[in-house]
C-alpha cells in the first residue's frame, strides 16, 4: 500500500522542483506517470524537461507515442498510463483516486502555494484521500528546504 505525498511549492516554480522529484523517483527504480489536467501544459512541461542540464537527463515522452509502454516517465492527462507506473506525480490539480494511492508505491501531488485555488484544491484532495484511509504526508518548502509538516497514517 502506497502513500500520497503533497508538495506545497512556495519557493520555486513547478518546472524547477519537478525534475528533482522525478530524479528521486527514478533513483528508486520507479516508472512514473506525470499527470496533468491540460494537454498543452503537458507539452510545455515536456519541452522544459528536455531543456534540463545534460548531467541530469530525464528520459521521458508524451502519451500517445509508439513507445509509451517503454517510457520511464510518461506525461499524460489521464489515468491508466501505458508505462505501468509505480509512481504518479499529479500537477495542476490532476485527479488522483484513493484506489491509485493504495495500489501504487507513491503518489506525489504538487501544487502552487501562491495560487489560492490550487491550495484549496489540494486541501480537498488531502481530505478525500485521507478520508478514504490513504496514508498521506504534507511537505512544505516555506523555510527554504523541504520539511514534513503533517502526516496521516493509513486507516
3-state secondary structure the chain: CCEEEEEEECCCCHHHHHHHHHHHHHHCCCCEEEECCCHHHHHHHHHHHHCCCHHHCCCCEECCCCCHHHCCEEEECCCCCCCCCCEEEEECCCCCCHHHHHHCCEEEEEEECCCHHHHHHHHHHHHHHHHCCCEEEEEECCCCCCEEEEEECCC
pLDDT digits (tens, 9 = 90+) for 36-47: 999 999 999 999
Structural domain boundaries in the chain: 3-152
pLDDT digits (tens, 9 = 90+) for 51-86: 866 666 788 999 998 899 999 999 999 988 999 999
pLDDT at 144 over 90: no
Confidence class of residue 89 from pLDDT cuts 50, 70 and 90?
very high
Give the pLDDT score at 121: 97
Model-level pTM greater than 0.95? no
CATH number for the region 3-152 comes to 3.40.50.10110
Give the pLDDT score at 53: 66
Averaged pLDDT score across all residues of the chain? 93
Amino acid at each position: 500500500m502506497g502513500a500520497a505525498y503533497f508538495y506545497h511549492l512556495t519557493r520555486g516554480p513547478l518546472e524547477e522542483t519537478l525534475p528533482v522529484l522525478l530524479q528521486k523517483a527514478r533513483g528508486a527504480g520507479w516508472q512514473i506517470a506525470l499527470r496533468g489536467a491540460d494537454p498543452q501544459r503537458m507539452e510545455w512541461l515536456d519541452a522544459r524537461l528536455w531543456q534540463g542540464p545534460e548531467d541530469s537527463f530525464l528520459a521521458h515522452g508524451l502519451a500517445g507515442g509508439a513507445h509509451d509502454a517503454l517510457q520511464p516517465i510518461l506525461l499524460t492527462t489521464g489515468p491508466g498510463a501505458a508505462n505501468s507506473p509505480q509512481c504518479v506525480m499529479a500537477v495542476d490539480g490532476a485527479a488522483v483516486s484513493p484506489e491509485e494511492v493504495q495500489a501504487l508505491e507513491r503518489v506525489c501531488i504538487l501544487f502552487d502555494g501562491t495560487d489560492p485555488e490550487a491550495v484549496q484544491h489540494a486541501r480537498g484532495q488531502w481530505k478525500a484521500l485521507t478520508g478514504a484511509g490513504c496514508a498521506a504526508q504534507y511537505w512544505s518548502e516555506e523555510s527554504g528546504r523541504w520539511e514534513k509538516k503533517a502526516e496521516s497514517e493509513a486507516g
